């Protein structure tokens, strides 16, 4: 109980909630003391609605973003008040404002939150409209509230400038630990590998997002303010986490083959599984210590775990004899090699938080990080390009504009007490995707109902104004704290806050709970119906594009690996960018699949295809990353003509799949001829490797072992990459045929029977 409470108090959600509550409560109490509560409440509203746009970033972007938000909020309020007395002018202005603000989402997360804040202030402006000088004064007070919040936010930033990034790294370590734990679960004899793979893919989506968040803040801080010790520490930790994840994704084992090989010798597998679990345990323990800012002491000695696995391999070799055990020892050695590299990276991560980090410790690995971040550039043509029904943001902007207009008209025609509550509900719960809107609708309605019941019960006890004021502040803090992580609980507390505010301002109105529930219900119903019937954007509409992006990213990454293997010049910026984009696009494809799961069954016509492509593309990325990681960390032999022929064939398969998805109707060469050439080149490649290995090498020498490991890994990965690329091409053809012949119902059988393990 107490550890959970402590975790709650040291998180960023409570930290942010305290920030905005201070910015709202101080002016409210100050002007209440001066005898003009209305001015204080208006300033408080300005602060409250500026808060959502305060997204994590460095100080420069924080200030610029909040200043833009503050002036937009004041301007929107002024425009609504100025046009409201003239319906023929008001409704067009209202619609244009809503549509334009909603379209800002094309510029990313920060712009989306600015638009959200502006839509909130637009809705609440209808609660009390003003005329003449009062209109200017009201907008000015909202401006003051926003500027006061900016001041408080800057003060909080200087109090603890690195806490957000630190907690993001904590979350990243925790998620990486979960991923490594799932890899350990794969070693269970009867494990559900398809389900474990699905969970791994979901974690990859989360990790991709959190990597982008951390990279953005760390790189911008370094660019603007130089490399402080704290920044170096977090950079080293972040880069180690990225490398741990990439190493895990790039190293896959054939668990079926390994179990068949070693079930009679279970000690080696159980020893390795214990090592795999301890990798995850150490990361989990480290994340807890960083979060609590306590000294980290390693619980599991990973070096001893490595020695134990080495001893288990030696015992296996002694039991069977060197000749009979050679293949098994080689397979186990690959596992040991992976574990050694993973332990090395975890040690680097631990060192970042247990010793001083110097610039040389980064070893130049951070030099291209700024090229991997998203540029803060807002060209007008981005907005213009999205003015089409193929754009998710365009459809959503039309939808929310229409829905808010309908809500406004309903509120005017029917005897609703607070029309703006209907509009606020629509703005808060309506999202571009159907699934998220549906989920938020349900959670908001439940939270509002629970909050209404509790609020009614509390008001029935006739508490004093002092108690109500204290509860109002407490519930605002709790509501803002829980809103990002648990919308249902957050809505419950926000509802209680609103009810008690109205009870203080208008104690004679006993129907406030009923009004709140009724308005929320109307807004929620309008939002869910609109998302279903007004220009809906089902994930299946964008399936081909998501799949194409993923295949293109993998193809570009493979091209860079081929260059690396041929030139032997080490990795460069192009390689890093291609690798990073491949991981991002796999995450995007999986995210699309998850969103599709939330949609109505009738709209999931491409669900199996998306999952199929996600799994196969992830397997391709894993195999490519394995070859790339090996090439950059080992001295490899010269690339032969056969190697390049096979690699070009793999890339050609992916190019053909991309062409099909683009519907270019390219003629694909005869598969039989290509396959015959491919087999001939694979045979030729094996012969070349055998000749290289046989040329006077001592079979017991370290050089011979390295060559043998390279030969096996390269040939195995080429065969696997070829199979996967052909699988992608065949699946793409089936997808295209299905689109042209929707009555074909054989897809489920096809996808259900051919699901490769990543």
- How far apart, in whole angstroms, are the C-alpha atoms of residue 105 and residue 378? 11
| Residue 194: inside a domain | yes
Closest CA to 199 of 733, 661, 594: 594
Give the span between the Cα atoms of 58 and 224, in whole angstroms.
8
CB atoms within 10 A of CB 466: 8
Q: Are residues 309 and 433 in the same domain?
A: no
Instruction: For residue 378, tell me if it sits in a domain.
Output: no
Task: Give the separation between CA 298 and CA 437, rounded to whole angstroms.
Answer: 44
Cα torsion 595, 597, 602, 604: sign = positive
CATH code, domain carrying 606: 1.20.58
* Residue 221 and residue 191 in one domain: yes
As a whole number of angstroms, the distance between CA 224 and CA 204 comes to 30
Domain that holds residue 466: 391-537
Provide the 10 A C-beta neighbour count for residue 277.
18
Same domain, residue pair 173 and 111: no
41 within domain boundaries = yes
- Residues 247, 261: one domain? yes
Residues 106, 7 share a domain? yes
**Residue 330 is assigned to a structural domain of this protein:** yes
- Closest residue by Cα to residue 79 from 129, 21, 7, 38: 129
φ and ψ at 128, to 5 degrees? -145, 105
User: Are both 437 and 576 inside the same structural domain?
Assistant: no
Q: Are residues 450 and 325 in the same domain?
A: no
DSSP H or E stretch at residue 730: helix 702-740
Q: Are residues 527 and 599 in the same domain?
A: no
Query: What residues have CB less than 8 Å from 587, skipping those under 6 apart?
Result: 204, 205, 207, 208, 209
What is the rounded CA–CA span in Å between residue 133 and residue 346? 63
Based on the domain organization, do 332 and 283 belong to the same domain? Answer: yes
- What is the predicted pLDDT for the residue at 692? 47
- Domain closes at, from 370, 399, 416: 370
pLDDT at 356: 64
Asked whether residue 743 is assigned to any structural domain, the reply reads: no
* pLDDT < 50 regions, the chain: 1-2, 223-226, 359, 372, 666-674, 676, 688, 690-693, 695-705, 742-758
Domain boundary among 320, 339, 370: 370
SS (H, E, C) 700-727: CCHHHHHHHHHHHHHHHHHHHHHHHHHH
Distance CA 497, CA 480 (A): 11
Q: What are phi and psi of 321, to 5 degrees?
A: 95, 150
CA distance linking residue 63 with residue 349, whole number of Å: 32
Domain tally for the chain?
Answer: 4
Are 77 and 209 in a shared domain?
Answer: no
Cβ-contact 264, 154 below 8 angstroms: no
Q: How far is CA 692 from the centre of its chain?
A: 46
For residue 512, the tally of other CB atoms under 10 A from its CB is 23
Torsion sign, CA atoms 468, 469, 475, 479: positive
Q: What are phi and psi of 222, to 5 degrees?
A: -65, -40
> Could you tell me if residue 376 is inside a domain?
no
pLDDT at res. 747: 34
The pLDDT, as a whole number, for residue 223 is: 47
Mapped onto helix, strand or coil, the DSSP state of residue 315 is helix
Three-state DSSP string of 65-93? HHHHHHHHHHHHHHHHHHHCCCHHHHHHH
Q: Quick check: is 382 in a domain?
A: no
Pick from 503, 537, 571: which residue ends a domain?
537
Per-residue pLDDT at 338: 83
The answer on 653 and 606 residing in a single domain is: yes
Distance CA 363, CA 367 (A): 9
DSSP 358: P
C-alpha dihedral, 592 to 594 to 595 to 601, nearest 10°:
110
First to last CA, the chain: 39
Q: Examine the domain organization and report whether 333 and 421 are in the same domain.
A: no
Q: How far apart are CA 237 and CA 361, in angstroms?
A: 11
* 108 is a domain residue: yes
């Amino acid at each position: 109980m107490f550890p959970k409470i402590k975790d709650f108090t040291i998180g960023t959600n409570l930290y942010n909630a305290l920030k905005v509550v201070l910015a709202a409560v101080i002016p409210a109490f100050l002007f209440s003391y001066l005898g003009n509560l209305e001015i204080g409440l208006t300033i408080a509203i300005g602060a409250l609605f500026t808060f959502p746009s305060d997204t994590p970033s460095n100080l420069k972007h924080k200030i610029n973003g909040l200043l833009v938000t503050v002036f937009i909020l004041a301007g929107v309020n002024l425009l609504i008040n100025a046009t409201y007395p003239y319906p023929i002018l008001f409704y067009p202005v209202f619609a244009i404002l809503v549509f334009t603000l909603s379209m800002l989402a094309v510029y990313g997360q920060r712009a989306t939150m600015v638009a959200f804040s502006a839509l909130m202030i637009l809705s609440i402006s209808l609660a009390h409209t003003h005329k003449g000088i009062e209109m200017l004064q009201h907008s000015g007070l909202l401006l003051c509230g926003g500027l006061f919040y900016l001041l408080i936010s800057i003060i909080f930033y200087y109090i603890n400038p690195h806490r957000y990034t630190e907690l993001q790294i904590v979350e990243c370590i925790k998620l990486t630990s979960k991923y490594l734990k799932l890899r350990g679960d794969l070693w269970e004899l009867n494990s559900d590998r398809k389900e474990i793979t699905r969970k791994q893919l979901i974690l990859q989506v989360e990790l991709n997002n959190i990597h982008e968040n951390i990279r953005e803040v760390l790189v911008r801080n370094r660019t603007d303010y130089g490399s402080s010790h704290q920044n170096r520490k977090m950079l080293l930790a972040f880069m180690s986490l990225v490398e741990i994840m990439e190493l895990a994704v790039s190293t896959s084992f054939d668990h079926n083959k390994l179990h068949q090989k070693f079930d009679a010798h279970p000690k080696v597998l159980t020893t390795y599984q214990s090592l795999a679990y301890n990798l995850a345990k150490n990361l989990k323990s480290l994340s807890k210590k960083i979060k609590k800012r306590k000294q980290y002491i390693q619980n599991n000695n990973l070096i001893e775990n490595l020695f134990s696995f080495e001893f288990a391999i030696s015992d296996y070799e002694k039991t069977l004899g060197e000749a009979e055990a050679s293949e098994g020892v080689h397979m186990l050695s690959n596992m040991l090699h992976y574990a050694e590299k993973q332990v090395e990276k975890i040690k680097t991560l631990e060192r970042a938080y247990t010793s001083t980090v110097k610039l040389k410790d980064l070893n130049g690995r951070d030099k291209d990080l700024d090229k991997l971040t998203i540029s803060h550039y807002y060209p007008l043509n981005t907005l213009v390009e999205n003015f089409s029904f193929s754009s998710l943001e365009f459809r959503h902007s039309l939808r929310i504009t229409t829905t808010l207009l309908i809500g406004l008209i309903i509120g005017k025609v029917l005897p609703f007490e607070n029309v703006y509550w209907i509009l606020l509900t629509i703005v808060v719960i309506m999202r571009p995707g159907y699934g998220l809107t549906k989920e938020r609708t349900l959670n908001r309605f439940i939270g509002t109902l629970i909050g209404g019941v509790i609020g009614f019960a509390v008001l029935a006890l006739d508490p004093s104004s002092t108690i109500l004021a204290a509860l109002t502040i407490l519930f605002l803090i709790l509501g803002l704290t829980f809103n990002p992580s648990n919308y249902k609980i957050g809505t419950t507390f926000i509802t209680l806050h609103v009810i008690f505010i109205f009870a203080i301002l208008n104690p004679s109105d006993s129907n406030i709970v009923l009004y709140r529930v009724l308005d929320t219900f109307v807004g929620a119903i309008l939002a869910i119906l609109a998302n279903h019937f007004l220009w809906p954007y089902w994930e299946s509409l964008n399936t081909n594009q998501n799949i194409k992006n993923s295949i293109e990213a993998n193809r570009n990454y493979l091209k860079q690996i081929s260059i690396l293997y041929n030139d032997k010049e080490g990795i460069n910026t192009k390689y890093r960018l291609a690798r990073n984009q491949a991981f991002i696009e796999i995450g995007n494809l999986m995210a699309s699949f998850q969103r599709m799961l939330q949609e109505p069954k009738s709209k999931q016509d491409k669900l199996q295809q998306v999952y199929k492509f996600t799994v196969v593309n992830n397997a391709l990325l894993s195999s490519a990353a394995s070859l790339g990681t090996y090439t950059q960390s080992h001295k490899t032999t010269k690339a032969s003509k056969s190697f390049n022929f096979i690699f070009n064939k793999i890339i050609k398969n992916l190019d053909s799949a991309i062409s099909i998805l683009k519907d270019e109707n390219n003629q694909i060469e005869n598969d039989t001829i290509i396959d015959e050439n491919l087999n001939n080149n694979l045979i030729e490649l094996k012969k070349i490797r055998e000749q290289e290995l046989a040329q006077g090498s001592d079979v017991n020498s370290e050089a011979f072992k390295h060559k043998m490991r390279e030969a096996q890994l390269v040939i195995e990965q080429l065969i696997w990459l070829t199979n996967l690329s052909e699988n992608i091409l065949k699946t793409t053809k089936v997808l295209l045929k299905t689109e042209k012949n929707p009555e074909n119902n054989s897809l489920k059988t096809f996808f259900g029977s051919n699901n490769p393990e990543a």
